[in-house]
């Protein structure tokens, strides 16, 4: 199991690095695919998808594709909010004109999937388009995957006080602190490593450390939130796409939450 998980993790890192380095259409296509797969996993968990594709699920998917298409163009960000509002109207139209086929909680889950998965993940693409964005995207993964690894190691060594005993009994306060400090250290070291090839101004070890520390705190909420949904729905994993890891949402749960905050922090601090 460990070997499978490790190999899958290596493949994920290679794909992520290649897509981020290329940017543009390749990164856009990869994120759109990940978003659609992640939404499908969430829709299955939240009973939006049942035995076959329905109008409610289709409305969410169409809204996501329209949102991403707008982002691909230079002025698309200006109309992205309008597209999200139209997506909400479309989802509500399906609800009222097929009533009583869908329940209110299914309708809310359909829109939630668009915002939670597609919109939040799109900030990876937005971050890549910032000045020095090829390097800034790395902070998203250091804050999520890096802090998770640090938290796990510290928790295993000295973890005693449970952080969320009912939801995730293995997570400890000590591990959480270790995750934040570890992510901060990784951010500082990362800034030093890329200093010679990153021409962008203001990308100092201190700023990177601060961004990663905040990102690590946010990533913990994302991880626990995804776990809470699974607990509520009585499922172990969202899917089986990634051997040893589960589905897209199982692997990208913390990345989803971290991405927008890294983008806004970078926009403000740099």
100 Cβ contact list (under 8 Å, min separation 6): none
- 39, 60 contact by CB (below 8 A): yes
Rounded to 5 degrees, φ, ψ at 73 are -95, 155
Q: 84: cis peptide before it, omega within 30°? A: no
Q: Measure the CA–CA gap between 267 and 270, rounded to whole angstroms.
A: 6
List the chain pLDDT tens, one digit each, 270 residues: 556 766 777 788 788 888 888 889 999 999 999 999 999 999 999 989 877 778 999 999 999 999 999 988 877 777 899 999 999 999 999 999 999 999 999 999 999 999 999 999 999 999 999 999 999 999 999 999 999 989 989 988 888 888 888 888 888 999 999 999 999 999 999 999 999 898 888 899 999 999 999 999 999 999 999 999 999 988 888 988 877 778 899 989 999 999 999 999 999 998
User: For residue 245, what pLDDT is reported?
Assistant: 73
Spatial CA neighbour of 163 closest among 151, 176, 145: 176
Integer CA distances (angstroms), 203 to 45, 155, 221, 269, in order = 40, 31, 26, 9
Write the DSSP string, 158-185: H--SEEETTTEEEEEHHHHHHHHHHHHH
d(CA 180, CA 245): 23
Question: 258 near 143, Cβ under 8 Å?
Answer: yes
d(C-alpha 143, C-alpha 145), whole Å = 6
* Domain extent listing, the chain: 1-129, 131-270
Do 200 and 191 touch, CB atoms closer than 8 A? no
């Amino acid at each position: 199991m460990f070997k499978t998980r490790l190999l899958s993790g290596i493949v994920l890192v290679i794909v992520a690095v290649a897509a981020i380095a290329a940017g543009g259409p390749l990164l856009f296509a990869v994120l759109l695919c990940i978003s659609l797969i992640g939404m499908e996993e969430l829709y299955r968990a939240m009973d939006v998808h049942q035995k076959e594709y329905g109008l409610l699920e289709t409305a969410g998917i169409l809204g996501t594709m329209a949102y991403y298409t707008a982002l691909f163009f230079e002025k698309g960000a200006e109309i992205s909010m309008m597209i999200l509002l139209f997506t909400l109207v479309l989802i509500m139209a399906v609800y009222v004109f097929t009533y009583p086929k869908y329940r209110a909680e299914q309708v809310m889950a359909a829109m939630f999937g668009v915002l939670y998965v597609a919109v939040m993940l799109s900030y990876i693409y937005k971050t890549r388009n910032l000045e020095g964005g090829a390097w800034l995207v790395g902070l998203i993964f250091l804050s999520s995957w890096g802090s998770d690894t640090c938290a796990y190691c510290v928790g295993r060594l000295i973890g005693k006080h449970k952080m969320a005993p009912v939801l995730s009994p293995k997570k400890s306060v000590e591990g959480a602190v270790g995750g934040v400090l570890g992510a901060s250290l990784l951010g500082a070291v990362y800034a030093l490593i890329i200093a010679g090839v990153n021409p962008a101004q203001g990308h100092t070890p201190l700023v990177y450390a601060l961004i990663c520390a905040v990102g690590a705190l946010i990533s913990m909420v994302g991880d626990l939130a995804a776990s809470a949904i699974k607990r509520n729905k009585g499922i172990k994993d969202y899917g089986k796409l990634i051997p040893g890891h589960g589905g897209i949402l199982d692997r990208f749960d913390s990345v989803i939450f971290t991405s927008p905050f890294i983008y806004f922090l970078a926009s403000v601090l740099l």
